[in-house]
Amino acid sequence: MTHFIVHNVTPDVTVRVIRKMPPLPPAIDAEVERLWRQASARVAAGGAGTLFNGQVFSIDAITPHAITGNLTEYRRLVAQMEDHGLFPALGIRSLSVCGVLRSAGGIAIGRRPAAAIYQPGMWQMAPAGSVDAGAIVTSGTADLAAQVLRELEEELGITATHVTRVAPICIVEHPGSHVSDCGMALTTSLDADAVQTAHRQHGNGEYSELRLVPEPALPAFIAWAGEALVPPAREFLFRLGLLDQGLSPPTGP
């Protein structure tokens, strides 16, 4: 069994860029480029769009109150996801936000497209996405709340005006890819029909299917989804008191 790493964070945790992206040796850069092209071709062939080499936040250090790191190329992250053995050379621990959207109709859970670059076909809390350069304000600090609200509007078509709560839960780090999901509690007054309508009419197609699972039905849904549900989802729901058991006890700070 894969043992995910759980990091505790406080509600006021800060995320800050403290250094520039390091250069790569030519041989490593060539391998990154090869894997990037390979992944781009696969995604395009699967009809999941075109990969864009933007910048995403990579973690250097995590404490409950502060996360520090640098902005790195997305192609480096993709290469490391394609080949976990590149971690010693690339050292990328990409930070993502993963919203747990609680509505009057239940918890939003989306299924990733089969051609997705990361965790294809799996169920996850919605919305979710990498913390990118667009989240960085002039002080070099990333605004996690703004990032997850942007993902919410892009993926589910729901604007910030319909959200009454945004708060960090914890960070769950994959020990292989080192993708680190920061759970973000979101609350909306919209009911299930309104969420589904917004997703159909204004969502960007990030999820091939979206379900609003009533809170009492979560254990049954999770049992049905089995290994097709991303593990961080269990920890986020556990931390919010919606499940009896999450992942292993925190091993981070």
Whether the per-residue pLDDT at 253 is higher than 60: the answer is no
Domains in the chain: boundaries: 5-239
Lowest mean pLDDT among 43-57, 167-181, 230-244: 43-57
**Pairing relation of β-strands 95-103 and 106-111?**
antiparallel
CATH class of 5-239: alpha beta
- Residue 40: which residues within 8 A CB-CB, separation 6 or more? 50, 51
- For 56-73, the pLDDT digits (tens) are 999 999 999 999 999 999
Average pLDDT over residues 169-188: 95
How confident is the model over 2-44, as pLDDT tens digits?
Answer: 689 999 999 999 999 999 999 999 999 999 999 999 999 988 8
| The pLDDT of residue 1 is above 60 | no
What does the block give as tokens for 221?
A: 């849904």
The per-residue pLDDT for 251 is 56
User: 11 vs 35, 128, 130, 171, CA distance in Å?
Assistant: 37, 18, 19, 12
pLDDT tens column, 64-123: 999 999 999 999 999 999 999 999 999 999 999 999 999 999 999 999 988 777 888 999
pLDDT for 249 equals 60
Q: What pLDDT is attached to residue 114? A: 84
DSSP string for 26-82 = HHHHHHHHHHHHHHHHHHHHTTS------EEEEEEEE-SSEEEEEEEEHHHHHHHHH
Distance between CA atoms of 211 and 229, rounded to whole angstroms?
A: 13
Neighbours of 25 (CB within 10 A): 9
CA-closest candidate to residue 182, choices 110, 247, 95, 76: 95
pLDDT at 220: 95
**Distance (Å, whole) CA 203 – CA 200:** 6
Q: Which residue has the higher pLDDT, 252 or 40?
A: 40
